[in-house]
């Protein structure tokens, strides 16, 4: 009986299709029995059409046979009608499935299709099996006989200790442990990927290389080793280029005390300022600053849930505009799944639902709007809307960005945008809560950067490097840009290593 139940249990079809197939089989068995009974009870050799005259015998027999054939074929017509009904039902269900798969992308990309049309009892049976495996076996209590009452106290205590050890529940092995929820796994995987991929960024790789096996091995800097805070000012900075040439060279490298102290990520993003624009010249450190922000979030240094935190995020997405210059229309879910350091594609259903339900816990960084070839189209949706404010609708990236930056999608999410000053006119339609400009390094920060850069070298080399940079106003004026500072430090350090720090005469002019 159990084997029969297991055989009849739906495995491939859903409940409706399974019921239809079972009914179809039952009706087929009934009709088969009727046909078999009719064939066995038929008097084939007693077929008579009596009462006809000899001259009309052929006509009478023909009509008699037609009546007989009509009565026999009535069952066949009934079978055809029933089969037609079932075929029509199956055709409708097939068309319905194909239409859903065509209209809804999520229908084929997640577990809904499996649950609705392939194996609806799979998840329940799997959960039941897992819970059965993880349920500890109840401790077996031994029956005590009358002789146990006469056992000495020492033996009795020893037996109780053994019984206590026996009754310790058996913990499941590692493969049997429950898997982490998708949201928790997504957050942990994202942080691990960020930690790994941002340790040594391409911007910090040494431009000098040597043939393998010849010379010293080239050392590449890590982000944690070299990163120096930047001078960031609210709104756009004003520059005074009056005075002689020496005064003009001091404009960019003015000290932090004269300008403003370096700001941290939590000074830029908060509950009141969640749509922020960061402006800076080429090489000033905008991308590196965003990368450092992500890395600090991954190590729970910023934006993590704590009593003194101003704001915290459970999910962060880093999107580089230049990576989508050749991209087709895409939905918000596809955009976030294609972001830098994304652990999965497509995004899990539970994670996506959490993002939609908790946008205030989401940070999206758009880097390099000036490198996006369609940046001039940003703002078209504001005047001539072509796309609905729906997260599942596909649209160009410029439309998606505008809807995110204006709160039409994921209202409440933090959006951080970086750009060069040359592309500010492309985002005039976006109302930012706050605008910051990155000024780069002050002279004090250049010294800090040079010290970190030469930390692994000998002391004389580091002192020679800073003495030359700090004592030359022309070179120091270039080092306010972190990218230029990196190139200058790398080049001068190579010269110090090659010629020696004592006998070397470093260049003093810009040519």
Inform me whether the pLDDT recorded for 219 exceeds 90: no
In this structure, the answer to whether residues 417 and 358 fall within a common structural domain is yes
Q: Identify the burial level of 420 via C-beta atoms within 10 angstroms of its C-beta, where 0-12 means exposed, 13-18 middle and 19 or more buried.
A: middle
In this structure, the answer to whether residues 302 and 350 fall within a common structural domain is yes
- 379-429 pLDDT, tens per residue? 887 767 889 899 999 999 999 999 999 999 999 999 999 999 999 999 988
Q: How large a percentage of the chain has pLDDT more than 70? A: 63
Domain count, the chain: 2
In the listed set 390, 419, 440, which residue is the last one of a domain according to the structure? 440
In a domain, 148, yes or no: no
- What per-residue confidence (pLDDT) applies to 106? 59
Report d(CA 22, CA 13) in Å as an integer: 11
- 170-210 pLDDT, tens per residue? 444 444 445 678 899 999 999 999 999 999 888 888 888 76
- What per-residue confidence (pLDDT) applies to 213? 63
- What per-residue confidence (pLDDT) applies to 494? 85
- 427-453 pLDDT, tens per residue? 988 999 999 999 889 888 999 999 999
- What per-residue confidence (pLDDT) applies to 127? 45
Here the tokens at position 282 are 């080429």
- What per-residue confidence (pLDDT) applies to 140? 44
Helix ranges, 227-313 (H): 245-249, 265-268, 286-298
- What per-residue confidence (pLDDT) applies to 6? 55
- What per-residue confidence (pLDDT) applies to 299? 95
In a domain, 395, yes or no: yes
Q: Which residues, in sequence order, are CB contacts of 343 under 8 Å at separation 6+?
A: 186, 189, 190, 193
In a domain, 191, yes or no: yes
| CA-wise closest residue to 289 among 197, 199, 227 | 227
Report d(CA 125, CA 389) in Å as an integer: 40
| CA-wise closest residue to 420 among 324, 286, 293 | 286
Helix ranges, 344-481 (H): 349-357, 380-383, 397-405, 443-453, 459-470, 473-478
Q: Looking at residues 455-484, what average pLDDT do you find?
A: 86
In a domain, 339, yes or no: yes
- What per-residue confidence (pLDDT) applies to 404? 95
* 3-state SS, residue 68: helix
- 226-280 pLDDT, tens per residue? 999 888 888 887 666 566 656 666 665 554 444 455 467 777 888 889 999 999 9
- What per-residue confidence (pLDDT) applies to 510? 57
Q: Looking at residues 452-480, what average pLDDT do you find?
A: 85
Confidence at 151, pLDDT banded by 50, 70, 90: very low
- 109-132 pLDDT, tens per residue? 555 555 555 554 444 444 444 444
Does residue 485 contact residue 284 with C-beta atoms inside 8 Å? Answer: no
In a domain, 11, yes or no: no
Directed axis angle between helix 349-357 and helix 182-197, to 10°? Answer: 90
In the listed set 419, 440, 461, which residue is the last one of a domain according to the structure? 440
Tell how far CA 352 is from the center of its chain.
Answer: 8
In a domain, 42, yes or no: no
- Among 88-102, 121-135, 285-299, the range with the most confident prediction by mean pLDDT is 285-299
In this structure, the answer to whether residues 311 and 247 fall within a common structural domain is yes
Inform me whether the pLDDT recorded for 86 exceeds 80: no
In this structure, the answer to whether residues 435 and 472 fall within a common structural domain is no
- What per-residue confidence (pLDDT) applies to 51? 55
Does residue 395 contact residue 387 with C-beta atoms inside 8 Å? Answer: yes
In this structure, the answer to whether residues 435 and 460 fall within a common structural domain is no
Q: Looking at residues 343-350, what average pLDDT do you find?
A: 85
**Gyration radius of the chain's alpha carbons:** 39
Inform me whether the pLDDT recorded for 149 exceeds 50: no
In a domain, 154, yes or no: no
In this structure, the answer to whether residues 201 and 325 fall within a common structural domain is yes
In this structure, the answer to whether residues 416 and 477 fall within a common structural domain is no
| CA-wise closest residue to 303 among 291, 289, 292, 314 | 314
- What per-residue confidence (pLDDT) applies to 165? 44
- What per-residue confidence (pLDDT) applies to 120? 46
In the listed set 410, 440, 470, which residue is the last one of a domain according to the structure? 440
Q: Looking at residues 351-376, what average pLDDT do you find?
A: 95
In this structure, the answer to whether residues 254 and 383 fall within a common structural domain is yes
In this structure, the answer to whether residues 228 and 371 fall within a common structural domain is yes
In this structure, the answer to whether residues 344 and 489 fall within a common structural domain is no
Domain hosting residue 404, numbered range: 186-205+218-440
The CATH code of the domain that includes 287 is 3.40.50.300
In this structure, the answer to whether residues 310 and 426 fall within a common structural domain is yes
- 2-43 pLDDT, tens per residue? 555 555 555 545 566 667 677 777 777 777 777 666 656 655
- What per-residue confidence (pLDDT) applies to 118? 53
Inform me whether the pLDDT recorded for 482 exceeds 60: yes
Report d(CA 52, CA 56) in Å as an integer: 6
Average pLDDT along the chain: 76
In a domain, 436, yes or no: yes
In this structure, the answer to whether residues 281 and 422 fall within a common structural domain is yes
């Amino acid at each position: 009986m159990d084997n029969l139940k297991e055989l009849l249990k739906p495995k491939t079809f859903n409940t409706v299709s399974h019921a239809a197939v079972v009914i179809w089989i039952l009706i087929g068995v009934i009709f088969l029995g009727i046909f078999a009974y009719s064939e066995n009870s038929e008097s084939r050799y007693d077929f008579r059409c009596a009462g006809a005259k000899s001259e009309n015998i052929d006509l009478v027999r023909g009509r008699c046979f037609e009546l007989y054939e009509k009565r026999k074929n009535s069952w066949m017509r009934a079978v055809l009608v029933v089969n037609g009904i079932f075929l029509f039902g199956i055709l409708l269900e097939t068309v319905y499935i194909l239409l859903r798969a065509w209209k809804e992308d999520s229908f084929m990309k997640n577990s809904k299709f499996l649950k609705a049309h392939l194996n609806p009892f799979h998840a329940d049976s799997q959960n039941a099996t897992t819970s059965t495996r993880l349920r500890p076996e109840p401790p077996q209590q031994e029956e005590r006989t009358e002789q146990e009452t006469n056992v000495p106290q020492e033996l009795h205590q020893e037996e109780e200790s053994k019984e206590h050890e026996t009754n310790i529940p058996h913990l499941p092995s590692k493969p049997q442990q429950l898997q982490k929820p998708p949201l928790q796994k997504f957050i942990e995987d994202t942080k691990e990927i960020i930690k790994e991929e941002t340790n040594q960024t391409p911007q910090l790789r040494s431009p000098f290389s040597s043939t393998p096996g010849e010379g010293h091995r080239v050392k590449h800097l890590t982000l944690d080793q070299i990163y120096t805070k930047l001078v960031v000012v609210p709104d756009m900075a004003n520059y005074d280029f009056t005075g002689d040439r020496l005064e003009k060279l001091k404009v960019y490298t003015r000290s932090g005390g004269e300008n403003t102290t370096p700001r941290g990520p939590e000074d830029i993003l908060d509950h009141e300022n969640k749509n922020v624009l960061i402006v800076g010249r080429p090489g000033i450190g905008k991308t590196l600053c965003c990368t450092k922000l992500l890395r600090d979030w991954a190590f729970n240094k910023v934006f993590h849930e704590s009593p003194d935190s101003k704001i915290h995020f459970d999910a962060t997405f880093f999107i580089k505009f230049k990576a989508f210059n050749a991209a087709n229309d895409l939905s918000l879910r596809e955009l976030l799944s294609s972001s830098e350091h994304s652990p999965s594609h497509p995004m899990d259903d539970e994670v996506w639902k959490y993002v939609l339900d908790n946008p205030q816990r989401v940070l999206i960084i758009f880097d390099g709007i000036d490198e996006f070839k369609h940046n001039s189209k940003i703002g078209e949706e504001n005047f001539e809307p072509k796309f609905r404010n729906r997260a599942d609708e596909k649209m160009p990236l410029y439309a998606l960005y505008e809807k995110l930056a204006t709160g039409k999608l994921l209202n409440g999410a933090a959006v951080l945008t970086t750009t060069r000053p040359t592309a500010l006119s492309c985002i005039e339609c976006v109302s930012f809560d706050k605008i910051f400009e990155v000024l780069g390094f002050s002279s004090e920060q250049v010294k800090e950067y040079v010290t970190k850069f030469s930390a692994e070298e000998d002391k004389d080399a580091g002192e020679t490097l800073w003495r030359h940079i700090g004592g030359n106003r022309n070179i120091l004026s270039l080092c306010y840009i972190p990218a230029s500072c990196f190139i200058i430090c790398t080049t001068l350090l190579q010269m110090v290593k090659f010629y020696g720090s004592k006998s070397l005469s470093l260049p003093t002019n810009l040519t």
